[in-house]
Amino acid sequence: MKRKPVSGRLHDEPMVTGYEALERQRGVRRPNRKLTRREKKALKRAQKYEEKLHKEHEKADKKNAKREAKLAARAEKQAVRDAKKNAKKKKSRPAVAPPGQRPAGKAVSGTRSSGTGKKTPDSARDKRITAQQSIPYHEMGRDGICRVQDKFYSKTIRFYDINYQLAQNEDKNTIFENWCDFLNYFDSTIHFQLSFINQHSNMAEYEKVIHINPQEDEFDDLRMEFAQMLNNQLAKGNNGLMRTKYITFGIEAENIREARPKLERIESDILNNFKILGVSAYPLNGEERLQIMYETFNQDSKVPFHFSYDDVLRTGLSTKDYVAPTSFVFKNGKDFEMGGTMGAVSYLQILAPELTDKMLAEFLEMDSNLMVNFHIQSIDQMKAIKLVKSKVTDINRMKIEEQKKAVRAGYDMDIIPSDLNTYGGEAKRLLEDLQSRNERMFLVTALFLNTAPTKQELENVVFQTAGIAQKYNCALKRLDYQQEPGLMSCLPLAMNFVPIKRALTTTSTAIFVPFTTQELFMAGESIYYGLNALSNNLIMADRKKLKNPNGLILGTPGSGKSFAAKREIANAFIVTKDDIIVCDPEGEYYPLVRAFHGQVIRISYYTAQYHSGRAMK
């Protein structure tokens, strides 16, 4: 029998797949010649296929081994649990008395005591988290230093408002530049938080200030009429809404001895920076910081905050017991209950390419309970520059890849996606700002806490807040299933538990200018001077308490200068018991003086009253 001549195939069998070539390699004698190109390719495919099968088998073996190990671990844990349960059952079983005898001290009944081993209410209650445990700080010192975590300490400063929105553009630019310098002071070791709190206060306190006591004379009717006018003006504004502003800063330290001098140095620098801005500020002590938390957690309570560190030492209670609400309920992922108050925490998603300095002011003008918090963390300058450079490099790499694709596809290499050009230009401008324009980079988290007595009112307030954000091309997103960390991040502790951050430069961060307009509402024998042009709140001032009690009334002809002077004279007459002396060369105030039964002294060459210049000393 003659052999068939060997051609381009082994035994004249078609080479279809790499698997067949592998079988031929294993079971067929290789011909005494060089393999053809087709046979070499088939052999390579067969080898790759064999390696692939080998890897798949190894993966399957590893998975099986892991599965068996997990099953063994579960079985072992289950055995330990069963052993513990059996031990508990043996302990819970009563001792068996000998036949005919009763167990000592126990009555015999016709039923058997159940030994089911269910959890008792006490054991279930031990695993519950109390309202005090939910408040995320350890200690609050008398001097206002709070140990938030084991190695993190913070302090709070309250600052007041200045006239910004109604200022001239030059003054606005000066305030804005000083505010940028203020932000650049904080380095990467200091975490700081800006808190803006709008809370409805008791209107009785404001009504007490504008109340006019009767003096039992014929002008009491006029006093009642004037007091009614003040009440009407009070209703027009938002004097019942108390607006406060705080800055809280925190550092990491090994202990309180190491943290105290650092915090005091930072506090002194912040107060000096506020002084440059013309802002009044003062540090809070421990009792004042606790009062902020009490008013945040107990908005439905009409009981004022009562606290003393001596009571803590005497009763053994912690500071959390004085500020905690009756309960926290975080069942729903979109809102929560805090005592008898409903609340919701949202974060501001900054999408707008440009922002204005009116955005924060419009949020704070809302006539509702609102807390706005900005957690700001500065990034080290070298790290920020390195980060931006890496982003620029990535964008350039993507441009090169797009250009290569264009060359291979046969069209112009300058035609690349527009987003790459946009992002590349923005990244280069950002790098230039960081390197040559005294800009820093910050990680900012903007949180909004809305509260209301009912859920419907809460939804309305949140909708109103979201509308303001949408007006400035931003979005207010609810912190779904993160309401508890969001609420605790709104406390002035300088601790952020929400991992949502936005990188902003100094100028972009400073656009949230915390100043709107300065309020003037003094207690005592205050005189009414009108309404604030921006907030419509009453302007009540007692000039006798000021450093300079003098005043000038300036205005164009016909603008009401004389009317303002006469109103102040009448107000001082019905509120105070001060002596009012009017020098009236033109006799303009004579009817007002006669109406108040005042004394008129006519000084002239032609009258009986005169004064001699020689007698004056």
- Write out the CATH class of domain 132-201+225-379+440-510: alpha beta
Residue 111: the pLDDT is 38
Residue 106 pLDDT > 80, yes or no?
Answer: no
Nearest to 414 by CA among 424, 427, 396, 402: 402
Residue 223: the pLDDT is 86
Instruction: Enumerate long-range contacts of 211-218, CB under 8 Å, 24 or more apart.
Output: 212/574, 212/575, 215/577
For residue 238, name the pLDDT band (cuts at 50, 70, 90). low
> What is the C-alpha separation between 481 and 490, in angstroms, rounded?
16
Residue 614: the pLDDT is 59
Cα dist from 417 to 4, 388, 412, 547, whole Å: 63, 21, 12, 65
Give 472-481 pLDDT, tens digit per residue.
999 999 999 9
153: which strand partners?
147, 251
The answer to whether 288 and 102 have CB atoms below 8 angstroms apart is no
The answer to whether 450 and 344 have CB atoms below 8 angstroms apart is yes
Give 332-373 pLDDT, tens digit per residue.
889 999 988 999 999 999 988 888 888 999 999 888 899 999
Any idea where the domains of the chain sit in the sequence? 1-56, 132-201+225-379+440-510, 528-595
Quick one: average pLDDT of 383-412? Answer: 80
Quick one: average pLDDT of 88-94? Answer: 60
> What is the C-alpha separation between 395 and 72, in angstroms, rounded?
50
Residue 487 pLDDT > 50, yes or no?
Answer: yes
Contacts of 383 (CB under 8 A, 6+ apart): 188
> What is the C-alpha separation between 344 and 331, in angstroms, rounded?
12
Residue 191: the pLDDT is 95
Nearest to 583 by CA among 567, 564, 602: 602
Residue 328: the pLDDT is 92
What tokens appear for 452 in the block? 């209301």
Quick one: average pLDDT of 133-145? Answer: 92
pTM for the predicted model, two decimal places: 0.71
Residue 4 pLDDT > 50, yes or no?
Answer: no
The answer to whether 289 and 144 have CB atoms below 8 angstroms apart is yes
Quick one: average pLDDT of 261-265? Answer: 95
Residue 13 pLDDT > 80, yes or no?
Answer: no
Residue 35 pLDDT > 90, yes or no?
Answer: no
End-to-end CA separation in angstroms for the chain: 156
SS3 breakdown of the chain: % helix, strand, coil, rounded to 5? 45, 15, 40
Residue 407 pLDDT > 70, yes or no?
Answer: yes
With a pLDDT cut of 90, the percent of the chain lying above it is 34
> What is the C-alpha separation between 501 and 378, in angstroms, rounded?
12
Question: pLDDT: is 596 or 90 the higher one?
Answer: 596
Give the distance from CA 284 to its chain's centroid.
Answer: 19
